């Protein structure tokens, strides 16, 4: 296999919340695969094929990615937030178990909506944690 597959989280919506590592993978990709609204967030450019599909067809997306990578494509499977939370990484490994092979696979984290909201709110989890560990005398 000469291609590769990256499963990447696009974050909660703002382009500013796409990590530099995910942006670099998208710049190198020949194909992007994902749910219609997520693929729509990726800018079209020459040499890039956008493969959008409906919801609930994660295994089909994963199989398509494996097929493209086997033919030499550089594939990024996109999800919102983080691909571990939205299970696209799991679907890829399930399809890989069915298909076999040893493709070059990377999983790149994304920023979840919960973490983005917490940061905007002033890191309430840190404040809650700090208060629960402080003792008064």
Residue-range domains of the chain with CATH? 4-112 (3.40.1010.10)
Rounded to 10°, the helix 58-70/88-99 angle is: 60
Q: Round to whole Å and give the CA distance between 137 and 134.
A: 10
- Name the band, by pLDDT with cuts 50, 70 and 90, for residue 38: very high
- Name the band, by pLDDT with cuts 50, 70 and 90, for residue 118: confident
Token pair for residue 42?
A: 């990726």
Report pLDDT digits (tens) over 74-114: 999 999 988 888 778 899 999 999 998 889 999 999 988 88
């Amino acid at each position: 296999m000469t291609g590769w597959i990256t499963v990447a989280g696009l974050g909660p919506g703002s382009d500013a919340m796409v990590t530099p590592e995910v942006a670099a993978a998208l710049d190198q990709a020949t194909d992007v695969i994902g749910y219609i609204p997520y693929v729509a967030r990726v800018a079209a450019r020459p040499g890039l094929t956008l493969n959008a599909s409906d919801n609930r067809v994660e295994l089909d997306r994963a199989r398509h990615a494996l097929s493209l990578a086997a033919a030499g494509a550089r594939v990024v499977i996109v999800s919102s937030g983080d691909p571990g939370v939205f299970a696209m990484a799991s679907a890829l490994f399930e399809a890989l178990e069915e298909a076999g092979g040893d493709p070059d696979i990377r999983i790149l984290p994304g920023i979840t909506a919960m973490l983005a909201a917490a940061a905007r709110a002033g890191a309430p989890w840190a404040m809650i944690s700090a208060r629960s560990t402080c003792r008064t005398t």
